[in-house]
Structure 1
Amino acid sequence: MRILFLHSNFPAQFRHLAVALAQNSNHKVVFGTTRKEGALPGVYKAIYTPSREAHPQTHHYVRSLEGAVLQGQAVYRLADQLKAQSFIPDVVYAHSGWGPSLFIKDIFPKAKLLCYFEWFYHAHGSDADFDPSEPLTADDEARIRIKNAPILIDLYSCDRGLAPTYWQRQQFPPEYHNKIKVHHDGVDTQFFQPQPGAKLFLPRINLDLREVPEIVTYVARGMEPYRGFPQLIETVALLQKRRPQCHVVIVGENRVAYGRTLPDGKTYKDVMLEKVPLDLNRVHFTGLLPYPEYLQVLQASSVHLYLTRPFVLSWSMLEALSAGCLVVASNTAPVTEMIQDGINGLLVDFFDTQAICDRIEYALDNPTQMVSIRHQARETILERYDLAQLLPQHLQWIQEITEQ
């Protein structure tokens, strides 16, 4: 089989899949991406570069669509180069939304097009209108509707699609559900496993918390309202008043990965630290961490906090469950697809920082009672989201579609 993966942020959801396919000498695996960094064994990486960015004078409703068309155009040119090198894929597997798959059926009409459908936008009922302090305007509603244009083209063009959770599939138009299989990427449970009694010591960044009795952890790609960063900081302020020995470790970059940036150039970290006084000797911002260090953070965690608007689910939440963390999470979709309150984690109101603090304190004060919840957290991942089970099923799904 010859397969072309397309994702601007290499390797993203296709990491394990691409490596597994490349291990078979009967397969030729090419990965088209804009990201120059990184490599995967046996995978040929092909860089595509849009000719320009969306023009700032383009109507703001369609700026994201113009960006998607530019991505699709760049992939079309890459595909022409691959054809000149005699690479004609049997399968193209693309992440839908940013545009790389828009013209695949034109350049490779005989290839099966598979799409990873992560999100379908709605102005109401999910992420966009979740925070009552951020009411939507008519412009917002129109812009959000148009963001679905490249995704709708993919829904029409693709042979089959995949969504990681049932709730995420439910966001897509019902008439396309028969095209979309629910199948999570999977969690490497051999890597993300508990280590009872683990201590946190990361000499590379001079972080030594081996003598600290209580460590609350938080992980997100960025520091933004979508992942509850403001609520985190307000919760930390409450915790610090009550628990003088508690330290908080925050993993992620000081940027916005999802949602709006602030208009004055400040980051949400800047704003929240100006607004909320904290003892920064007990708050540790690590930046992004290599996987082994990230794992150490999870394994040493006393309580792991995960907050999200109703939106795309983070890998980090499932990885924390797999590592046996005591996860306190927002009572939002699709978190509730994985976590049952009091069974394999603790659920809280996204906006109620007092309640979040109370739940964290309850977990810290009752470690013996939390043992069974930690155990069930890992069992949930082993039973339903283990990469060792899901990866072969994913490969079989691709093979079956190729043979149709």
Structure 2
Amino acid sequence: MRVLFIHPNFPAQFRHLARAFGSNSQNQVIFATKNENPEWKIPGVTRAMYAPHRQPNRETHHYLRNSEEAVLQGQAAFRTAEQLKKQGFIPDIIYGHSGWGGTLYMKDIFPHTPLMCYFEWYYNAYGADADFDPSDPLSVDDYLRIRTKNAAILMDLVHCDHGVSPTHWQRSQFPHTFHPKISVVHDGIDVEYFKPNPGAKLILPQLDLSHVDEIVTYVARGMEPYRGFPQMIESLAYIQERLPNCHVVIVGSDRVAYGKSLPDGKTYKQYMLEKVPLDLSRVHFVGSLPYGQYLKVIQASTAHIYLTRPFVLSWSMLEAMSTGCLIIGSDTPPVKEVIQDGVNGLLVDFFSPKEIAERVEEVIKHPTRMADIRLQARQTIVEKYSLQQLLSQHIELMSKVAKSS
């Protein structure tokens, strides 16, 4: 099969699929991307680079800047696809991430090739992430901007042949009229890699906690309100008071990956550490980690805090569950799709740092009672989110769509 993947941040959600198709010498696999990072190489996969010829105009109406950026990326991806076509490459299927723009004009260069789109998120002003925090109300301008932000995604919804969303919650955000066109297939968790390591001690190049028995962990791409970073920091004051031997390990970059930055230029880490007095000798910010070190963190975790607005569900929560982590998760729709309180994890009010601390204390002081919850967390991922099962489903769906032309 000839496959064209499209994502500006190679390999992203298509890492396992690209590797699977690339491992078969009978396939020809090309990945169109903006990412030139030489560290990412997948055997059997050829990268085809594209780059917009300019940035969005600063004078463009701010509702339309995302749309203009998507069009520019779409043009760049089209030019790259045009070169591939001249070289004789006609894909049997195209699979790209919707919203960035790379998929917008693929039907114009390959009109007879089925197009699949990965539909990660549809922006809604009501009932999801945008209006979740009552302390951060939306303005009229926000309502209009958010509606307009879906323009490129709506184009893909109309002209694609089929789509995929990773969770039922994420699919539910898209207009109902398109639901029959979108299958729910998660990217999958490698349960053979993310597995428990009983008795693991945490030793990283920059941190040795081998002497510590109580380790609370938190993982996110950025330190931001969307992933409950302020509430997590506030909970640490209660945790440190209740658990004097407990250490906390925070994995992630000191930046905002989703949502708004602070207007004064401070990061949320700076702001929260100024606001909440903590014993920082027991709080360890280790930055973003390579997979091997990140795995050691969650394998050694006693309790893992995962908070999110009603938004995209993080891989990190499922990876942590796969290692047998005891998740203290926010009582929000994306988490509740996976976690049942008291069965395979514990749920808390996103906005209650005190409740978060109480449940962390409950986990640490009652290890025997929590043992079955850890087992059930692992079992949930093995049964429902295992890469070994979902990858074959994903490939089968792509093959079915490819044959539909």
How high is the TM-score relative to the length of structure 1?
A: 0.98
Aligned equivalents of 2:238, 2:50: Cα separation in 1? 48
Corresponding residue of 1:270: 270
Match of 2:65 among 55, 63, 66: 63
Which ranges of structure 2 fall in alignment gaps of 5 or more residues? none
Counterpart residue type for residue 277 of structure 2: P
Aligned equivalents of 1:270, 1:35: Cα separation in 2? 30
Deviations 1:163-191 (A, max 9, x none): 11111111111110110001111100000
Q: What percent of counterpart residues are identical?
A: 62
Give how far 1:92 is off: 0.8
Match of 1:130 among 123, 129, 132: 132
Displacement over 2 Å in runs of 4+: none
Deviations 1:307-359 (A, max 9, x none): 00000000000000000000000000111010000000000000011111101
Aligned equivalents of 1:110, 1:308: Cα separation in 2? 40
Give how far 1:12 is off: 0.9
Q: 1:130-279 alignment to 2 at 5 Å?
A: 130-203=132-205, 206-279=206-279
Give how far 1:54 is off: 1.4
Give how far 1:55 is off: 1.6
Counterpart residue type for residue 333 of structure 1: P
Corresponding residue of 2:118: 116
Asked if 1 retains the 8 angstrom alpha-carbon contact of 2:6 and 2:32, the reply is yes
Corresponding residue of 1:359: 359
Corresponding residue of 2:299: 299
- SS of residue in 2 equivalent to 1:252: strand
Corresponding residue of 1:324: 324
Are 2:101 and 1:99 aligned? yes
Give how far 1:302 is off: 0.3
Aligned equivalents of 1:47, 1:382: Cα separation in 2? 36
Aligned equivalents of 2:156, 2:316: Cα separation in 1? 28
Aligned equivalents of 2:61, 2:357: Cα separation in 1? 44
Asked if 1 retains the 8 angstrom alpha-carbon contact of 2:223 and 2:252, the reply is yes
Give how far 1:266 is off: 1.5
Counterpart residue type for residue 166 of structure 2: P
Asked if 1 retains the 8 angstrom alpha-carbon contact of 2:25 and 2:44, the reply is no
Which ranges of structure 1 fall in alignment gaps of 5 or more residues? none
Corresponding residue of 1:47: 49
Aligned equivalents of 2:354, 2:136: Cα separation in 1? 21
Are 2:35 and 1:35 aligned? yes
Aligned equivalents of 2:355, 2:108: Cα separation in 1? 54
Aligned equivalents of 2:302, 2:344: Cα separation in 1? 15
Aligned equivalents of 1:259, 1:35: Cα separation in 2? 23
Counterpart residue type for residue 284 of structure 2: H
Counterpart residue type for residue 337 of structure 2: E
Aligned equivalents of 1:76, 1:280: Cα separation in 2? 51
Aligned equivalents of 1:129, 1:22: Cα separation in 2? 42
Aligned equivalents of 1:390, 1:273: Cα separation in 2? 41
Are 2:389 and 1:389 aligned? yes
